[in-house]
Homo-oligomer: A and B are copies of this chain.
Amino acid sequence: MVGSIAYDSVTSPVGNVEDALGGSAVYAGIASSFHGRYLSLGKIGLVGVVGQDFKQTDIELLESQGLDLSGLEIAEGNTFRWEGSYEGDMGIAQTHDTQLNVFGEFDPKVPKQATKPKVLFCANLVPMLQMQVLQQARGSRLSMLDSMNLWIEIARDDLLTVMQSVDLIIINDGEVRMLAGDDNLVRASRKLISMVNCHTLIIKKGENGVLAFHNGEILALPAYPTENVVDPTGCGDSFAGTIAACLASASGPITKSELRDALIRATVTASFTLESFGTSGLLSLTIERFNSRLQQFQDILS
């Protein structure tokens, strides 16, 4: 797994947090590891960069989650920082400040023993860096990537190129519309699939659930309905990290029912991220609480 590692400062209608451990690889990594423990996946390798200001306690926290940090570079300078806020229904983050810091010079190196994982997940990151990782490593079952609107705006061609190199893409509904230039989500999705030739496209719709296209078939799920929305940061990453873990637990072509089960588990995982600032909702998750909410969600679905 590759992605960003950050210190985030977030304000939402219910409070704020400063310099909280975050970033796409952190949320996705913790979520993947949580599920990996119960799916007997073994350690999940994390490739990323932090600065010299990165706290030793955060290194220990990531290791305690079962992540293999041999691909983590500690570079001269400061860790990537993001500052943002959410308002109203908290559907969209407003970015106030982004400091790339050590990301400006990052040259990702995948450790030799990690070049053939079952699933390679490029979490949200500069598309060119995702490409550098894909040149060093491939998932034996699946390579997948997540992205964000910023890269569509400033690195659209790079993003489309890297998308052509993976099997499964996870992005949100607005991003599919932007990439395909079509307001109709179903048409836009089919266009994007033919533009990049992936077998699976998973579209995150936040509080409106998820729509997925898989080998010509469609899957759709509502979100888990939650009253306790605290901080949406990392929801999409923990959603995607859960999918990566679930799809790493079997072999052969991905089936529709396997994908549906992964989407359900990813939805439930993201609902825990949403309920606390930073990674604390994920970190305090137990398999008992997960299974209880999974059952609740299954009841809502059927």
A→B interface (CB under 8 Å): 13, 88-90, 177, 183-187, 190, 205, 207-209, 211, 217-223, 225-227, 229, 260, 299-302
Are A207 and B222 in contact, CB atoms less than 8 angstroms apart? no
Interface centre among A88, A217, A226, A227 (most CB of B within 10 A): A227
A185 adjacent to B299 (CB under 8 Å): no
How far is A209 from B210 in the complex, measured between Cα atoms in Å? 11
The interface residues of chain B lying within 8 Å CB-to-CB of A207 are 185
Pairs A–B under 8 Å by Cβ, sample size 23: A88-B183, A89-B177, A89-B183, A89-B185, A185-B225, A186-B225, A186-B226, A186-B227, A187-B227, A190-B227, A208-B208, A208-B209, A211-B222, A211-B225, A217-B299, A218-B300, A219-B300, A220-B222, A220-B223, A220-B225, A220-B300, A220-B301, A301-B301
Closest beta carbon of chain B to A65's beta carbon, Å: 30
**Residues from chain B with Cβ under 8 Å of A88 in the complex:** 183
Chain B residues within 8 Å of A205, by CB: 208
- B residues within 8 A CB of A225? 185-186, 211, 218, 220
Q: Which residue of B lies closest to A87 (CB)?
A: B183
A183, closest chain B residue (CB): B89
Residues of B within 8 A of A177 (CB): 89
Tell me whether A227 and B184 are in contact (CB under 8 A): yes
Q: In the assembled complex, which residues on chain B have CB atoms less than 8 Å from the CB atom of A220?
A: 209, 222-223, 225, 300-301
Q: What's the minimum C-beta distance from A12 to chain B, rounded to whole angstroms?
A: 11
A190, closest chain B residue (CB)? B227
**Smallest Cβ-Cβ distance to A299: which chain B residue:** B217
Q: Which residues of B contact A185 (CB under 8 A)?
A: 89, 207, 225
Once the chains are docked, how many angstroms separate the CA of A226 from the CA of B187?
Answer: 8
Say which residue of B217, B221, B260, B300 sits within 8 Å of A222 (CB atoms). B221
